[in-house]
Amino acid sequence: MTSKQLYSRMDADDPCPARDGFSMPAEWDAHKRTWMAWPCRIEAWGGPEGLLRAKQAYARVARAISSFEPVTIAARPQDHSEVKFACAGKTEVFEVVIDDSWARDSGPTVLRGADGARAGVQWQFNAWGNKYFPFADDAKFASRVLEREGLKIYRAPLVCEGGAIHVDGEGTLLTTEQTLLNENRNPNLTQQEIEEALALYTGIRKVIWLGEGFSDDETDGHIDNIACFAGPGRVLLGIPQFKNHPDYEPVMDAKRRLLEARDAAGRPLEVIELPQPQEKKVDWQGRLLQASYINFYLPNGGIVMPAFNDLNDEKARAVLADCFPGRDILQVDALDIVEGGGGIHCITQQEPV
């Protein structure tokens, strides 16, 4: 879609979420359920053994979340029995054709209206800049979930993944230039046009941009591996433990940007440093493993966070416990998930009540 076409869409009287009174709630708001998708793209994990380990790890996460709220796993019809067995019957299965298993990115962004009504956004999805094929079914996955739930569908004129954005529920959105300004996402749109699309389709009023240079070339620097809101006016930022880490300088730039920013309400941001794993590991392709404690999930009353068999596992747990008092914390071994290019947050997508 060209810039002119986008502006024409924005200036028209066609309905869009913000005009209809919908906005994206914060992740810590109450959920109806969590959505996941069962691993099925074998090349993401390097072969059958990696895929099997990924399925076992997904099942661990699903069982952990199910102790807090209902979980529905989207799976190909031929995988239905496998999912029920692996998850010990603790999850519902939604049979649907899918290409991959990152529900955060291909799933819907569910919105809420002032009157309690709900709707959802189908972002344009191109498999993280055409990195994997096919992706036609994942590009329809959000709509299929919303149709199942009987929710109105808003089709956004923007290539975006759920892991590329994070909101505080009060009008502020975090993202990175590396993702949404990337030529493999929205080459015909300016930063201002992207901000306007985000505002119209999530109901936010302010975008805070972090920069570029992050080593995660699988997603091109998704925000949910870098920083997230811990509450209005509070941002958790993952801090590499050594200056020679390739993300150290990009993270320091992110810290400067956050400290200089104001949120939609005009508040300065408190930046809470979350130590990242000490040990550097590589994935099955020999690339730096993108292990991040920022990539956690907030089910009702809980925190499901990654463990990496690292000295900082407990330190990260303590920081999150301080940020979210009163929540039960379950730490799940996530190395086999990260091998595929994402983390616990990447494989989950909340459906607000």
Amino acid 7: pLDDT: 43
What is the span of the domain harbouring residue 197? 13-352
- CA–CA gap between residue 172 and residue 203 (Å, rounded): 9
Answer yes or no: is 30 within a domain: yes
Amino acid 114: pLDDT: 86
* 309-330 residue pLDDT tens: 999 999 999 999 999 999 999 9
346 is known as an active-site residue: yes
The answer to whether the CB of 31 falls within 8 A of the CB of 300 is: yes
Residue 83: pLDDT band (50, 70, 90) is very high
Average pLDDT estimate for 131-152: 98
Taking CA atoms, 162 is separated from 21, 85, 158, 317, 347, in Å, by: 21, 28, 12, 24, 10
* 91-122 residue pLDDT tens: 999 999 999 999 999 999 999 998 999 999 99
Average pLDDT, rounded, for the chain = 96
Average pLDDT estimate for 149-163: 98
Among the listed ranges 84-88, 95-99, 134-138, 283-287, which one has the minimum average pLDDT value?
A: 283-287
Q: What is the CA radius of gyration of the chain?
A: 19
Tell whether the model's pLDDT for residue 2 goes beyond 80: no
Answer yes or no: is 137 within a domain: yes
Amino acid 74: pLDDT: 98
Residue 176 backbone class (left: φ over 0; alpha: ψ -120 to 50; beta: rest): beta
What kind and span of H or E run contains 271? strand 270-275
Tell whether the model's pLDDT for residue 6 goes beyond 60: no
Answer yes or no: is 266 within a domain: yes
Amino acid 12: pLDDT: 54
Amino acid 223: pLDDT: 99
Amino acid 1: pLDDT: 44
Answer yes or no: is 132 within a domain: yes
CATH number of the domain where residue 64 is located: 3.75.10.10
Is the whole model's pTM more than 0.85, yes or no? yes
What kind and span of H or E run contains 274? strand 270-275
- CB half-sphere exposure, 103, CA atoms < 13 A: 27
Answer yes or no: is 33 within a domain: yes
* 17-68 residue pLDDT tens: 999 999 999 999 999 999 999 999 999 999 999 999 999 999 999 999 999 9
Average pLDDT estimate for 335-343: 98
User: Among 103, 123, 227, which Cα is nearest to 172's?
Assistant: 227
Number of domains in the chain: 1
Residue 285: pLDDT band (50, 70, 90) is very high
Answer yes or no: is 331 within a domain: yes
Catalytic position from the list 16, 160, 228, 346: 346
Residue 235: pLDDT band (50, 70, 90) is very high
- CA–CA gap between residue 142 and residue 139 (Å, rounded): 7
Residue 11: pLDDT band (50, 70, 90) is low
Amino acid 3: pLDDT: 41
Answer yes or no: is 6 within a domain: no
Give ∠ CA 266-104-54 in degrees, rounded to 5: 140
Q: According to the 3-state scheme, what is the secondary structure of 22-60?
A: EECCCCCCCEEEEEEECCCCHHHHCCHHHHHHHHHHHHH
- Sheet with 118-124, edge to edge strand ranges: 22-23, 109-113, 118-124, 152-159
Answer yes or no: is 5 within a domain: no
Amino acid 14: pLDDT: 78
* 65-81 residue pLDDT tens: 999 999 999 999 999 99
Q: Which residue has the higher pLDDT, 6 or 24?
A: 24
